[in-house]
Amino acid sequence: MPALEFRSVDARFRVLVPGATVRRLLHLCRSSGRRETGGILVGRYSAGLDCARVGAASGPPKDSVRGPSSFQRGMKGLQAWLERRWASRGDHYLGEWHFHPYAPPVPSDTDLQQLGRIARTADYRCPEPILLIVGGDPAGKWSVSVHIVPSGQPAVPLQRLQDPAEPG
């Protein structure tokens, strides 16, 4: 599976999701059936700080609450997972992801408000969190949306670029 690359219209923000991470996201979505699921995204920023490179996506923590049209991400086990990713790869928290089963990947007001709170919360150390949503049928026709939510600013939708080059 090829990598997915997204960029804001003004080219200020870019997000690269490697093919292996896309496969993992689709697997987690298929496993969830008709219930929403989600987790967090970790990775690194480019030297110019203009591109977030997603290194991995967590699955839903065990204490998450999942329904057909709602998802509340839990916390159980996330801190240990983040610490392992930091120690082994230097990955940082980049943002959140979730699945809209058999629906478009359009963020709700609640999604955007949550990311706005994350952007303003010093503990996350992430002033511009990513919101990635997988929508549709993960075993068939699916799509992905990506937004950046800068602290104190409206969400910035990113457009998918065609056939990005995956970094080495």
List, in order of start, the domains of the chain with CATH numbers: 4-161 (3.40.140.10)
Structure pTM? 0.91
Mind listing the pLDDT tens digit for each residue in 99-145?
Answer: 999 999 999 999 999 888 888 888 888 889 999 999 999 999 999 99
Mind listing the pLDDT tens digit for each residue in 71-92?
Answer: 999 999 999 998 899 889 889 9
Give the other-Cβ count within 10 Å of 126's Cβ: 21
Give the Å distances, CA to CA, from 11 to 39, 51, 103, 131: 26, 10, 28, 17
Tokens read off for 6: 């997204």
3-state secondary structure of 146: strand
For residues 26-44, give the mean pLDDT: 95
Give the other-Cβ count within 10 Å of 158's Cβ: 22
Has residue 164 got a pLDDT over 60?
no
Q: Which amino acid is at 51?
A: C
**Residue 101, φ and ψ in degrees, nearest 5:** -65, 125
Q: Could you tell me what percent of the chain has a pLDDT over 70? A: 96
The pLDDT of residue 168: 38
The pLDDT of residue 126: 86
Q: Which residues contact residue 18 at a Cβ distance below 8 angstroms, ignoring those fewer than 6 apart?
A: 3, 53, 54, 55, 166
Which residues are identified as catalytic? 36
The pLDDT of residue 75: 92
Q: Which amino acid is at 149?
A: V
Q: If you average pLDDT over every residue of the chain, what do you get?
A: 91
The pLDDT of residue 166: 43
Has residue 27 got a pLDDT over 90?
yes
* Residue of higher predicted confidence among 142 and 46: 142
The pLDDT of residue 163: 59
